């Protein structure tokens, strides 16, 4: 996998985290360094760990599906991208209930929810027989940085950006899935 595809996947996977961080930045009355660190660290950590879990699961089934693994990767990436676009266009908003989303179970649940897509990408990497360690590191770092950036930008921009960011992430995942499919069907 080339570095541009990897970076594209990392950015696309980080769009959910960025959108949640943006909403968090808009909702929090006080933005401190601890809150920035907690959300950025946890989102980055979960985004880095989920591809490893997906990759481990994928490595166990890879020998049985090697003939059509590129189709599975395409379908999974296109599904996730389409889901992101659908959710952005449907206008699902996070409820503001006054709790601090950078602490406790709220933090864990948001971390898991924003990184489920990375689990599927890890599965796709296993299907393509790509090592997961460097991609996981890049995905985690990019997610952490974009989470902090989202929180900081949340203080300065309107809520409409969240929808645009998620649409961009969905389109990017679909495009990367299509690239994988083309590379493995037309170029082999």
Closest to 11 measured CA to CA, from 149, 183, 184: 149
pLDDT at 68: 72
- Rounded to 5°, the CA angle 112-78-108 comes to 5
Catalogue all structural domains in the chain, each as residue range(s) with its CATH number.
3-185 (1.20.1250)
Residue with tokens 């699902």: 92
Predicted TM-score of the model (pTM): 0.70
> What does the chain come to in residues?
188
CA-to-CA distance for 106 and 43, rounded, in angstroms? 12
Q: Mean pLDDT by 10-residue block, N- to C-terminus, for the chain (188 residues)?
A: 88 86 73 89 95 88 69 76 76 53 81 83 85 94 95 70 65 77 74
CA-to-CA distance for 171 and 88, rounded, in angstroms? 11
Token pair of 39 as six digits: 């959300």
HEC assignment per residue over 6-74: HHHHHHHHHHHHHHHHHHHHHHCCCCCHHHHHHHHHHHHHHHHHHHHHHHHHHHHHHHHHHHHHHHHHH
Residue with tokens 């989202």: 150
pLDDT at 25: 77
pLDDT at 91: 65
């Amino acid at each position: 996998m080339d570095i541009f595809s990897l970076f594209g996947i990392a950015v696309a996977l980080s769009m959910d985290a960025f959108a949640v961080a943006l909403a968090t930045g808009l909702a929090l009355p006080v933005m401190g360094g601890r809150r920035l660190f907690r959300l950025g660290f946890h989102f980055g950590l979960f985004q880095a760990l989920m591809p490893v879990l997906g990759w481990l699961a994928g490595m166990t089934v890879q020998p049985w599906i090697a003939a059509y693994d590129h189709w599975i990767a395409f379908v999974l990436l296109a599904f996730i991208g389409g889901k992101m676009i659908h959710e952005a266009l449907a206008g699902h908003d996070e409820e503001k209930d006054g709790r601090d989303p950078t602490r406790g179970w709220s933090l864990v649940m948001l971390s898991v929810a924003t990184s489920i897509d990375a689990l599927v990408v890890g599965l796709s990497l296993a299907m393509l027989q790509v090592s997961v360690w460097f991609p996981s590191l890049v995905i985690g770092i990019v997610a952490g940085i974009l989470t902090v950036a989202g929180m900081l930008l949340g203080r300065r921009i309107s809520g409409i950006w969240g929808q645009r960011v998620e649409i961009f992430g969905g389109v990017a995942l679909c495009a990367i899935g299509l690239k994988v499919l083309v590379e493995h069907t037309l170029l082999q």
